[in-house]
């Protein structure tokens, strides 16, 4: 069974997924960060593939991507780093990246390599859903990879139900129609959106991302979903703290 599916089958609430950029702060940090996140009880990890034009990302992750590229990170390097990762890390791993570098690598080759290294799913924010259905779904499913699709407050109910019908794993619920970045709280409008989607009776579980940084935002997201995704907050911590301390401070931030 795919590890993402197994996670949501065994844990229904309070799931914490953490995003970090491959190659940041140092080129060879990928394995260290993955091991530390699992050791500290994180449920799932999203590894960002650095790209020169990350249109959905705010300044914190943009800066991390730029630094990672300067460090020499690429998809080839990342797959080398993940080659034996399943000897030590057992939680679900998702690769999150933009279509351009994945297409340069070759989509089918990318999926095969994901399967070989033990990657469980992918998030490609700029992949049109129609293109996914027509050209990529069969390839992803052949390699037992979950294609995670994003929805926003502006996504129509019709589209949400299409995504729910034709994908599995979970739905990535973007908290607002903006770029990534830590927030201190969610306003009533965003919480109404969470409540509305929760009331749709979707087949897939959901995680909320963009803006999760503390207990208030994590709890607000988790009330109407299976949990939340933290990215920018963790990247900020990695910039100034050793990996172990960064993970400890992240956990403390959502518990206080």
Active site residues: 46, 57
CB 127 within 8 A of CB 99: yes
| Distances in whole angstroms, Cα of residue 123 to Cα of each of 10, 62, 97, 147, 148 | 22, 17, 6, 6, 5
């Amino acid at each position: 069974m795919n590890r993402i599916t197994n996670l949501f089958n065994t844990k229904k609430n309070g799931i914490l997924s953490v995003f970090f950029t491959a190659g940041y702060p140092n080129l060879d940090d990928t394995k260290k960060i993955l091991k530390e996140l699992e050791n500290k009880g994180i449920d799932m990890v999203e590894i960002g593939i650095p790209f020169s034009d990350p249109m959905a990302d705010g300044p914190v992750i943009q800066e991390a991507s730029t630094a990672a590229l300067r460090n020499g990170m690429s998809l080839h390097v990342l797959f080398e780093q993940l080659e034996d990762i399943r000897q030590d890390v057992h939680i679900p791993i998702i690769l999150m990246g933009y279509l351009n570098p994945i297409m340069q690598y070759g989509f089918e080759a990318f999926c095969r390599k994901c399967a070989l290294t033990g990657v469980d799913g992918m998030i490609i924010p700029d992949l049109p859903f129609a293109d996914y259905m027509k050209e990529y779904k069969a390839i992803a499913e052949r390699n037992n990879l979950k294609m995670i699709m994003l929805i926003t407050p502006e996504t129509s109910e019709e589209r949400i139900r299409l995504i729910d019908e034709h994908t599995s794993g979970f739905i990535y619920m973007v908290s607002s129609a903006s770029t990534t970045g830590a927030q201190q709280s969610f306003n009533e409008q965003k919480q109404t959106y969470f409540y509305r989607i929760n009331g749709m009776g979707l087949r897939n579980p959901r995680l909320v991302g963009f803006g999760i940084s503390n207990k208030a935002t994590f709890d607000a997201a988790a009330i109407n979903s299976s949990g939340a995704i933290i990215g920018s907050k963790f990247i900020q911590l990695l910039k100034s703290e050793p990996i172990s301390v960064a993970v400890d401070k992240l956990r403390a931030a959502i518990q206080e």
